[in-house]
Amino acid sequence: MKITFIQILLVAILSFFLAACKNNEPTEKEKEAAGIKSPKQDTYDDPKLPFDQRLKHYIEGKLSTRPNEDYRLKIYEEHLNDDGKMDMVITVNRLENAIKTAEEKHLVTKSATVGFFGNHNHMFYYSSITNKFMGPYTMSSTPQRQLTITFENISSENHKDIIVDFPIRNSQFRRIYLMLDDTPNYAFQWKQYDGWGTDKLEAYCFKYEKGTYSEIKDIVINRAVMKNIGKEDNYDTAEQEITCTDQLVKRFFFNAPDRKYYTPN
């Protein structure tokens, strides 16, 4: 078969353009200088594993759990972004690790007096859009009780936001994570009650109303009435009975630049 001059010329031109295209691709150093981040696979996330094994591997790697540690895990499913698919919030409670850590440090008695307070309650997020996990989001708390997760439409009517209730001995706090850009954004925290089992008991209710300065809803705090318990009762197992009142305590509005809530009074 004869190769003509025209064929040789076409091959040369094609080779030149391919080389030019390749040479125009930025190097890793050029990307870094331009602020372009290459996507990195999380060390503890292996998408090839079955989902339950993948979740276990991720959580245990991120939290550096003990071999065969008996932690408590709960999975909540909800629409948390705009793709119409279910996403997940996963809570992990490490009471066993809290007790064993105190034993190793010979601090069981001292730790028990403060309810083994520490970083033993964690939350993780799984996004259906990215097929990736995020977290841990850690709540310093007393681990005899697990995190309680609920959901509300606060930042959008198209998806829910995450509400986390966590205990500190005879008190409980509420933390709100707004789902902005498919990421849990810690935007607000306030006590639900404090002094349970004492004569200094105080309690509050939460409402979410039309935003004052943005499309994201305001958070309205009203005073509440809570059934008290005796000093001998166990506040980790006692049932909470809270009744809301119309007495306004504070109204918080969302400030978009720093994605936090503030109150004018």
Domain residue spans of the chain: 44-262
For residue 253, the SS3 value is strand
- The pLDDT assigned to 33 comes to 57
Q: How many CA atoms lie within 13 A of 145 on its CB side?
A: 21
- Look at residues 44, 76, 43 and name the one whose alpha carbon lies nearest to residue 60: 44
Tell me how far apart the alpha carbons of residues 251 and 253 are, in angstroms, rounded to a whole number: 7
The tokens 């936001």 sit on which residue?
A: 161
Tell me how far apart the alpha carbons of residues 69 and 10 are, in angstroms, rounded to a whole number: 66
- Look at residues 179, 184, 148 and name the one whose alpha carbon lies nearest to residue 166: 148
Tell me how far apart the alpha carbons of residues 156 and 173 are, in angstroms, rounded to a whole number: 23
- The pLDDT assigned to 21 comes to 41
With a CB cutoff of 8 Å and minimum separation 6, the contacts of 202 are 191, 193, 194, 195, 223
Strand order in the sheet with 161-168: 148-152, 161-168, 171-180, 183-194, 202-209, 218-226, 242-255, 260-262
- Please give the radius of gyration of the chain, using alpha carbons only, rounded to the nearest integer: 26
CB atoms within 10 A of CB 71: 18
Tell me how far apart the alpha carbons of residues 174 and 147 are, in angstroms, rounded to a whole number: 10
Which of the residues in the chain have pLDDT under 70?
1-41
Task: State if pTM tops 0.95.
Answer: no
The tokens 């809270």 sit on which residue?
A: 242
